[in-house]
Amino acid sequence: MKLPNASISLRVLARLLAYPDAALRADLVDLRVALHGDQTVPEQRLAELEALISTLERGSALDNEAHYVEVFDRGRATSLHLFEHVHGDSRERGPAMIDLTQTYEKAGLFLGPDEMPDYLPVVLEFVSTQPPKEARAFLGEMAHIFNAIFNALQQRQSPYAAVLGALLELAGEKAHAVKITPDEDMDKAWEEPVVFDGCSTKGQAGPGQTQPIHFVKNETARASSALAQGVTP
C-alpha cells in the first residue's frame, strides 16, 4: 500500500508546537488551510487540532503564552526535547545529539546557531523532507516518546495533546495509557540545601543545638603507614 505524503502536515504540526507569539498567530489561518488541504490527519484528530488553532486565535495572547510555558518549560514529562525522555542528563545525551546532527547534515540540512537537534519541531522539519516510507519509520522509532508526552499533556488537559496524537497516527500507531511520573516541583528543585543542617548520620541535632563531636580512628591511613614501614597492621 502506498503511504500518503504527510510532509505538509508535519510542518504544520511542527509550527503549532512553537511558542505562541505574534508571528505564530499571524500564520494560523494559513496553517489551518494547509492542514485541511493535506488530508493526512484523521478527521477526529483534525477536529482537535482545529480546536487548538481556535484557542490560539481567539484566546488571550497572554493566557496562551503562559499556558505554553507552564506546559512545556516546567517539567520533563512534557519536554519537547526528545532526549530528555531517553537520556535525561546522562552522558549518553551528548553523543546522541552529535549523531542526530550528523543525520541532518547527511540529508543536507544544517541547524541554526540556537537550535537543538532533539527539539521536536526541528525533528519534524527534518522528517518532513523524507520520503513517506522513511518518514513513517522515523516517526515510528519515536512513537513511545510521543505517547508518553501525549499522556502527560492529556493529564494536564492541554489542547496540545492533539498535536502528539496526530504524530502517533502519522507514525501508524495508536495512543495508549502509560504511567506518568510526576515532575518534581520546580521551586523545590531549585531550592538550595541548608548548609551544615545536622546532616551527619551520627545523630546531630538541628542548628542552635549541641553538636556532639566523634573522634574516629583512620584505619586506612594507619594501615598505609604500617605497610610503608614494612609492619603488619
Helix 7-16 crosses helix 22-38 at what angle (to 10 degrees)?
150
Cβ atoms within 10 Å, residue 168:
22
pLDDT at 130: 94
**Contact between residue 158 and residue 67 where contact means Cβ atoms under 8 Å apart:** yes
**Tens-level pLDDT at each residue, the chain (233 residues):** 678 899 999 999 999 999 999 999 999 999 999 999 999 999 999 999 999 999 999 999 999 999 999 999 887 899 999 988 876 666 777 788 888 899 899 988 888 888 898 899 999 999 999 999 999 999 999 999 999 999 999 999 999 999 999 999 999 998 876 665 655 544 554 444 444 444 444 444 445 554 444 444 444 344 333 333 343 33
**Contact between residue 37 and residue 66 where contact means Cβ atoms under 8 Å apart:** no
Threshold 0.95, pTM exceeds: no
pLDDT at 225: 37
Nearest to 130 by CA among 70, 170, 89: 170
pLDDT at 178: 60
**Contact between residue 125 and residue 15 where contact means Cβ atoms under 8 Å apart:** no
**Contact between residue 133 and residue 8 where contact means Cβ atoms under 8 Å apart:** no
81 — phi, psi (to 5°)? Answer: -90, 105
pLDDT at 48: 96
